[in-house]
Amino acid sequence: MSRILSTGGAINEAIAIAMRTDPTVILMGEDVAGGGDRSKDGTEEMGGVLGTTRGLVGEFGMNRVRDTPIAEMGLIGTAVGAAATGLRPIAELMFMDFLGTSLDPLLNQASKLRYMFGGKVKVPLTVRTVSGAGMQAAAQHSQSLYWITTGIPGLKTIIPSNPVDAKGLLLAAIRDDDPVIFCEPKGILNQSTEVPEGDYEIPLGKANIVREGSDVSLVAFGATVRIAMKAAKALEGAGTSAEVVDLRSLSPLDEEAILTSLEKTGRMVIIDESTPRCSIARDIAAVCVDKGFDFLQAPVKCVTAPHTPVPFSEVLEQAFLPSAQDVLDSVGQMG
């Protein structure tokens, strides 16, 4: 059974299912209920800055759905400590840009406690965060910082591209016993599709071949999957068969899927809405050149945002973001 849900609705459903099936799952963050004491009887809450968590305090109460002060380091650090001592918290970092104010508990605590303690503790924490550009939220509320969390050993980083995947991946992330950063890209939030009811998980660490093809591989994730599909359609019209790989998971990374696709087509474009230096795109390109060298028919192209902050004006922000045309230009250049 399916019904139409937005990405936010699918995420809401995943959280609710997780909280119903496990009493140690709690939700905490800034305005996740909203309205302070008005949430006591569950009728007046806001459900997050984008409404994603509406309804949850009504069902689960203020013991398990907790509004925190605007104190990212404290809220995330507390969530880490709670995860290490028996809870399974979902902590919300309102915008991924706030990784700056919350990095220490993730970088130096959550990611390392298990390792430093010789495997004797686990940190089953999920940090949900809204990432990416496209809403004119400007430089400090539009960044895609998954390249930072991906590079930190001990963390996992997950990024869905559509409502169905968002629900399944989030359920898997919450139930995963390692700390997971779950990105909710702005570019997919207004998507609505049929989403299956019920409890289902999509395994972390496995990419999805969204479209099969034989001439060029378009590797995308989050908001760029839609761009890749648009480019693939245009390429088909011009006689080029494009394969679209939706990574779903940045750490762990499904290297096997990437290299299998490269072996098939010999040509790859990686589409990443973040900035280029030390990016996911270039990381994958290096893997291809190292482990897939003999498959290469052409240079591996990276389509990314430029090395700049995110601009405000709509025309500038649209120019900042990767587009299907950028993908077509790369395919044309690579030969």
Partner 1 sequence: MGFTGPELAEIYRRMRTIRSFEEKLHELVSAGKIGGFMHLYAGQEAIAVGVCAQLTGADIVGSTHRGHGHCIAKGVDVKAMMAELFGRSTGTNRGKGGSMHIADIEKGMLGANGIVGGGIPLVTGAALTAQVLGRENVAVSFFGDGATNQGQFHESLTMAANWELPVVYVCENNGFGEFTPTDFVVPVKDIADRASSYGMRAVIADGMDFFDVYEKAGEAIELARKGEGPTLLECKTYRFYGHYVGDQTPYRNKEEAEDWIQNRDPLDIFETKASEAGVVEPDEFRRIDGEVAALLNEAVEEAEEAPLPSVAEVLTDVYVRYEG
Partner 2 sequence: MATAISMPKLGMTMEEGTVIHWPLEPGKAVEKGQVVLVIESEKAEVEIEAPASGIFRHIYIEEGDTVPCGTLLAAITETADEPFDVDAFHAAEERPEVKGDRGLRVKGDSDPKPGTTSSGTGARKPIAPAARAVARKLGLDPQQVAGTGPNGRVTKQDVEAYAKAREALIPVDRSVSLEVLTSGTGDPVVLLPGLGTDVSAFARQIPLLAERFRVHGVNPRGVGLSDSPSSESYDVAQMAADATATYPGSAHVIGASLGSAAALELALNHPERAKTLTLITPFVDVSPRLRALGDAWPRLAAQADPETLAATLMPWFFSTSFLADDAARARTLRGLAQTVARVPATTLDRMITGMLSWSNSRSTDLSRISVPTLVISASEDLLVPDSGLIAQAIPGATLLVVEGAGHAVALESPDLVNQAITAHLG
Least distance from C-beta 246 to partner 2, angstroms? 24
The catalytic position among 141, 226, 248, 301 is 141
State the amino acid at position 247 in one-letter form.
L
DSSP label at residue 96: G
- For the bound state, the minimum distance from the C-beta of residue 307 to partner 1, rounded and expressed in Å, comes to 28
Which residue, among 128, 117, 255, has the nearest Cα to 179 in the 3D structure? Answer: 128
Those residues whose C-beta lies under 8 Å from the C-beta of residue 244, and which sit 6 or more positions away, are 209, 210, 211, 213, 218, 220, 225, 228, 229, 232
Give the DSSP H or E segment for 311.
none
Question: What's the min distance (Å) between Cβ of 209 and partner 2?
Answer: 21
Is residue 295 within the footprint of partner 2 (CB under 8 A)? yes
* CB 62, CB 41: distance < 8 Å: no
Of the candidates 255, 332, 274, which has an alpha carbon nearest to the alpha carbon of residue 298? 332
**Encoded amino acid at 324, one letter:** A
Minimum gap (Å) between residue 117 Cβ and partner 2: 23
Which of 153, 293, 307, 315 contacts partner 2 by CB under 8 A?
293
Binding-site partner at residue 64 among partner 1, partner 2, none, CB < 5 to 8 Å by type:
partner 1
CA atoms of 330 and 299, how far apart (whole Å): 10
Q: What letters, b where the CB count within 10 A reaches 16 and e where it falls short, cover 149-182?
A: bbebebbbbbbbbbbbbbbbbbbbbbbbebbbbb
Q: Closer CB to partner 2, residue 215 or residue 326?
A: 215
Strands 180-185 and 156-158: parallel
Q: Which does 286 bind (CB under 5 to 8 A by kind): partner 2, partner 1, none?
A: none
Q: Which stretch binds partner 2 (CB under 8 A): 24-32, 240-248, 294-302, 304-312?
A: 294-302
CB of 257 to partner 2, least distance (A): 19
What distance in Å separates the CA atoms of residue 61 and residue 209, rounded to the nearest whole number? 40
Question: Annotated catalytic, 307?
Answer: no
Residue closer to partner 2, measured from CB, 80 or 262: 262
Which one, 43 or 297, has the nearer CB to partner 2? 297
Judged by CB under 8 A, does residue 290 bind partner 2? no
Q: Does 259 bind partner 2 (CB under 8 A)?
A: no
Q: Which residues bind partner 1 (CB under 8 A)?
A: 23-24, 26, 63-64, 66, 68-69, 71, 73-87, 104-105, 108-109, 112-122, 153-154, 156, 176-178, 203-206, 249, 251-255
CB atoms within 10 A of CB 118: 7
Query: Interacting stretch for partner 2, rule CB under 8 A, among 29-37, 194-202, 289-297, 310-318?
Result: 289-297
Residue 145 binds which entry of partner 1, partner 2, none, CB below 5-8 Å type-dependent: none
- Interface with partner 2 by CB under 8 A: which residues? 266, 293-298, 335
Residues carrying an active site annotation: 141
